[in-house]
Amino acid sequence: MKAEVIAVGSELLLGQIANTNGQFLSQQLAKAGVDVFYHSVVGDNATRLQETLEIASERSELIILTGGLGPTKDDLTKEVVASFLHKELVIDEVALEQIVSFFEKRNLPMTENNRKQALVLKEATIFQNHYGMAPGMATIHQGVTYVLLPGPPREMRPMVTEQVIPFLSSHVGDLQIISRVLRFFGIGESKLETELEDLIDGQSNPTIAPLASEGEVTLRLTVKHHDETQAALLLDETERKIRERVDHYFYGYDETSLMEKLVSCLTKTGLSLASAESLTGGLFGARITNIPGASACFLAAITTYTNDMKQSWLNVPPHVLEQHGAVSPECAIAMAQGVKKLTKADVTISFTGVAGPSPSEGKEPGTVFIGLCFRDDEPEAITLQLSGSREQIRERTLKHGCQQILNRIKRWNERSNDKV
């Protein structure tokens, strides 16, 4: 079943509200085995909505409209659909009773235009609105299923999950669409695609779709199958082939962030962490402590923005700052060692560099040094040259820091397993 979602409302086109209904419907339809091929947004205009329906009915087997079922004159979805399908609108008595009861319970006068909300397409399947007034409905015309839903998300969402999806399941059978998202950091979208080019070109079921976002890359694997167990096996096999090639950059699934993955790994391994921050201004500590359970592994974040504070709080030797400057690998290592001495953490990390917009100490914006002390290993400095705005450089620095620690934990686990 090829589906299309049409959101109705001039407020959407004006940017006054976001079209979150479209995202929600696509997610729910995918779970039900329905492919969404098109999204449209049209204002409160009968002519343009009619034109949109004409196009949609030629290319889609399921058309879902949200919005425009209310009591005012600009709520015209039902009227336009009825005219388009040459169907009569009739009062749904259950809905009308619910609307009348709403006003009576609140001792409010009910204006006549509220009766309009109880109008439904004749002989349609009705979805009662348990969180508002206007019911939803579904009707089939010349092989195309039309579903009309209220616009407010608090009314539309439960109606979809409780009534619409069961209705559609009887039309699409038990076919399911299941997705799994693999998350990567430290590799660009073009490089990742090159490494997996033959797998992507040969995809059929599951499909592989790359997507880049703020220094990260995700791969969405999507499989269709009647059997959930077999679908999972197909996803596992595709994931195995991908990770054989690019596992070094892989860090997690679905909506997991690098910070969440880091907290999880530290907690599981029993390692403690502390940070010393200059470039990032305490952002690393703030982000990591936003994650529930971070107190099990994170000890402290010390922000030393000036050279004086680096010396007095972290005991960075004066000669390091004089000879190499604060923006240097030597200073990064000294900062990581300083916070290690203060906190006794198993893992310490430091951030120093130039976020911009102007150069500092003769170094260009985006010059970043990360210091890392991991247990009894030799301390080291990682040198980065990042691009972007001041905010982007700081954000990307945090992610690189997380990745560096995760890589050290992985190597440490491998060494521990070798000893066993």
pLDDT in tens, 120-161: 999 999 999 999 999 999 999 999 999 999 999 999 999 999
Q: What is the pLDDT of residue 18?
A: 93
- How many CB atoms neighbour CB 209 within 10 A? 14
Residue 32 has pLDDT above 60, yes or no: yes
Q: What is the pLDDT of residue 420?
A: 46
Residue 418 has pLDDT above 70, yes or no: no
Q: CA torsion sign, 246 to 292 to 24 to 159? A: positive
Element (H, E) at 140: strand 136-141
- How many CB atoms neighbour CB 315 within 10 A? 14
**What are 168-225's pLDDT values in tens digits?**
887 656 667 788 999 999 999 999 999 999 999 988 889 898 888 777 999 989 898 8
Q: Which residues contact 396 (CB under 8 A, 6 or more apart)?
A: 214, 215, 386, 388
**What are 333-359's pLDDT values in tens digits?**
999 999 999 999 999 999 999 999 999
Across the chain, what does the average pLDDT equal? Answer: 94
Residue 396 has pLDDT above 50, yes or no: yes
Cα gap 120→112, rounded to integer Å: 16
Q: What is the pLDDT of residue 174?
A: 65
* Arithmetic mean of pLDDT, 44-73: 96
**What are 87-126's pLDDT values in tens digits?**
999 999 999 999 999 999 999 999 999 999 999 999 999 9
**What are 240-259's pLDDT values in tens digits?**
999 999 999 999 999 899 99
Asked if 75 and 30 count as a contact pair (C-beta separation under 8 A), the reply is no
Cα gap 394→42, rounded to integer Å: 39
Asked if 304 and 277 count as a contact pair (C-beta separation under 8 A), the reply is yes
Burial pattern 15-47, b for ≥16 Cβ within 10 A else e, equals eeeebebbebbbebbbebbbbbeeebbbebbee
Among 34-48, 183-197, 404-418, the least confident range = 404-418
Cα gap 418→163, rounded to integer Å: 55
Q: Which residues contact 392 (CB under 8 A, 6 or more apart)?
A: 214, 386
Cα gap 95→120, rounded to integer Å: 9
pLDDT range class, residue 30, cuts 50, 70, 90: confident
**What are 280-328's pLDDT values in tens digits?**
999 999 999 999 999 999 999 999 999 999 999 999 999 999 999 999 9
The residue written with tokens 């990770």 in the block is 243
Tokens of 176: 């399911």
Cα gap 410→74, rounded to integer Å: 59
Cα gap 208→221, rounded to integer Å: 5
What HEC string does 288-352 produce?
HHCCCCHHHCEEEEEECCCHHHHHHHHCCCHHHHHHCCCCCHHHHHHHHHHHHHHHCCCEEEEEE
Q: Which residues contact 197 (CB under 8 A, 6 or more apart)?
A: none
